[in-house]
Chains A and B, each alone.
Chain A
């Protein structure tokens, strides 16, 4: 283990380490804690310059206020309307592409695989105008469906990389054995491979959920009105309206951050497994 386990060091070092941990964490999350505090500060505190002390009382009504006086509830609903279909769509598509590229050997296999991988790295701006025109052409501009369709297509690149590597690492004997038995290929996919992919599907679902929930660029490019914008884009426009009303901006930020945070803490193991794919040999 590196570094040397703290248990093997002097008691003094151990105590210092135990103190350093919470202090470091506090400093690390300091900006976030500040915003969390601000979100429960009454507006009067901010007006009187009480920015850092204890709030004179906990103003939970800031949270009520943003739901009453802004479309943030609608934004959140829109975010779900974009995110959930995207997760389902990308997982479905990439299970199939991953199966094709991970199991079969054919000409062009590696080429197609690396096309997916490379496409996943391109700057969004090179896609922006044509994707916007395309979405317009399909009559899906400023709809959650138009946004979700693009996300499904784009995320398929990353997810194919993920799924293909996962499937390629499955024991080949399983598939060979099934073939000898005369099992049809699609049945091999559905009854043998898909059940084995459960951990990969779980990892990808949480990752894609977080990526799409947090997407801001495409939300700004493809949606414009409060009835369709997801919460990232919505928060950005609310930030423009709530100038200097930091208690509201903070409360909105916390609300917008909650779903992916909850997802992360509930599915932590899968999340990290997905994110660190390839970080170990």
Chain B
């Protein structure tokens, strides 16, 4: 570098020649980093800032300090949302073992099994809006299928989405449908790559059934399990579409989750309280960061191990 500088005006081309390997990655990164910085990194910082202000989206921002956060602590709707998020997180994780169960069930080579696998995967491909509508129909009072079935057995139907206690469970069940399909496909791919010789060896040692699954198969499925847990946790915390389509947070706000409550506060007809919304988003972000840093930490470790 210093040598080149002391030379009298090197022609453009030779600078490029000697530095192109160092400059190229940055040139290739530039457009992607610019877009990502503008639409993802900057908004995160801006939201943090906004959470200290009162802002209706048009007028001027008024500094509030920590008032938005203080308000959160005494806001019952916030508590409900937080509680529901925990519920989502725990129940949504059922998708992982259930997906594994279906994958094991389907991991055979019989006629037409490929079509079965595709059709089992089907719910993941369709939009959550459509999934929400399908389940709204399924749960609908008086004529909904589930309602009718319950009515047939107990004599009295249950309108799940109109019941403040049951509604959230109903929505989570709808969310599990595509999520199980996703986990299933991850495990099917994983099962495809399980080392056959290890299974044979374990069989000779008399391992079978659950023991085989736990000690021989699951350790080999670790990468699939990791991804299944990551996407399920993120999916649970991102749940918005289903709540919005199926109940709009109701009845009586009982199905709100943080992502939906934030939207409600910041953008819906309940008012344009964007500062307060940003504070909710920051809390959600903080919760997610706990998981994200865990995932990233593991990925960085794997990455270092590979090199």
Beyond A119-B36, A122-B285, A128-B266, whether A276 also contacts B24 by CB under 8 A is no
Which of B32, B134, B192 touches A31 (beta carbons < 8 Å)? Answer: B134
The answer to whether B224 and A96 touch across the interface, beta carbons within 8 angstroms, is no
B residues 268-307 in Cβ contact with A at 8 Å:
274, 277-278, 280-282, 284-285, 288, 291-292, 295-296, 299-300, 303
Point out the residues of chain B lying under 8 angstroms from A101, CB to CB: 25, 29
User: A197 in the interface, Cβ–Cβ < 8 Å?
Assistant: no
Q: Find chain A residues with CB under 8 A from B105 CB.
A: 20, 24
Which of under 10, 10 to 19, 20 to 34, or 35 or more describes the interface residues of A? 35 or more
Count class of interface residues, chain B: 35 or more
Chain B residues with CB under 8 A of A265: 118
A window 151-174: CB within 8 A of B = 152-154, 156-157, 160
Chain A residues whose C-beta falls within 8 Å of the C-beta of B113 in the assembled complex: 21
Across the interface, A216 reaches (CB within 8 A) one of B25, B110, B127, B192, namely B127
Asked whether B130 lies within 8 Å of A235 as measured between CB atoms, the reply is yes
Please determine whether B40 and A154 come into contact, CB atoms closer than 8 angstroms.
yes
- Distance in Å: Cβ of B233 to nearest Cβ of chain A: 9
Contact partner of A117 (CB less than 8 A), chosen from B191, B213, B296, is B296
Q: Is the CB of B24 within 8 A of A186?
A: yes
A214 to B194, CA, bound (A): 33
The reply to whether A275 and B199 form a contact with Cβ atoms under 8 Å apart is no
Q: Please pick, from B21, B25, B129, B223, the residue contacting A281 in the complex, using a CB distance under 8 A.
A: B223
Contact B281 A260 (CB under 8 A): no
Chain A residue numbers with a CB within 8 Å of B223 are: 278-281
Answer whether residue B107 sits at the interface, using C-beta atoms and an 8 A cutoff. Answer: yes
Looking at the assembled complex, report how far the CB atom of A256 sits from the nearest CB atom of chain B, in whole angstroms.
Answer: 6
Asked whether, in the complex, the Cβ of A125 is within 8 Å of the Cβ of B36, the reply is: no
CB distance from A238 to the nearest CB of B (A): 10
Tell me if A279 and B35 are in contact (CB < 8 A).
no
Of the candidate stretches B3-11, B68-76, B135-143, B153-161, the one touching chain A is: B135-143
**72-125 of chain B: CB within 8 A of chain A:** 104-105, 107-110, 113, 116, 118-123, 125
The reply to whether A235 and B20 contact each other, CB–CB distance below 8 Å, is no
Whether A239 lies near B245 (C-beta < 8 A) is yes
For A101, A239, A281, which residue has the most chain B Cβ atoms within 10 angstroms? A281
Per-position contact with A for B30-44: 1 when CB-CB < 8 Å, else 0?
011101101111111
Q: Is the CB of B43 within 8 A of A272?
A: no
| Contact for A276 among B26, B109, B189, B259, CB less than 8 A | B189
Interface centre among B36, B46, B186 (most CB of A within 10 A): B36
A152 contacts which chain B residues (CB < 8 A)?
Answer: 35
Closest to B267 in A: A221
Docked-complex contact A31 and B28, CB < 8 angstroms: no
Q: Counting CB contacts under 8 A, is A129 at the interface?
A: yes
- A257 and B127 in contact, given A34-B137, A123-B285 (Cβ under 8 angstroms): yes
**A84 is an interface residue with CB less than 8 A from chain B:** no
29 contacts between A and B (CB under 8 A): A3-B104, A3-B108, A24-B105, A25-B120, A31-B135, A34-B137, A94-B32, A96-B29, A96-B32, A106-B25, A110-B300, A121-B234, A122-B44, A125-B277, A126-B47, A128-B43, A128-B262, A132-B267, A213-B127, A214-B128, A216-B129, A220-B244, A235-B130, A236-B245, A249-B137, A272-B185, A278-B223, A279-B186, A279-B227
Binding site for B on A (CB under 8 A): 1-7, 17-18, 20-21, 24-25, 28-32, 34-35, 38, 46, 49, 51-52, 93-94, 96-97, 99-101, 103-104, 106, 109-110, 112, 114-119, 121-134, 149-150, 152-154, 156-157, 160, 179, 184-186, 189, 210, 213-214, 216-217, 220-221, 232, 235-236, 239, 246, 249-250, 253, 256-257, 260-261, 263-265, 268, 272, 275-276, 278-281
Interface residues of B (CB under 8 A from A): 20-22, 24-26, 28-29, 31-33, 35-36, 38-44, 46-47, 50, 55, 57, 104-105, 107-110, 113, 116, 118-123, 125-130, 133-135, 137-138, 140, 143, 145, 148, 177, 182, 185-187, 189-194, 196, 199, 208, 212-213, 216-217, 223-224, 226-227, 234, 237-238, 240-241, 244-245, 258-259, 262-263, 266-267, 274, 277-278, 280-282, 284-285, 288, 291-292, 295-296, 299-300, 303
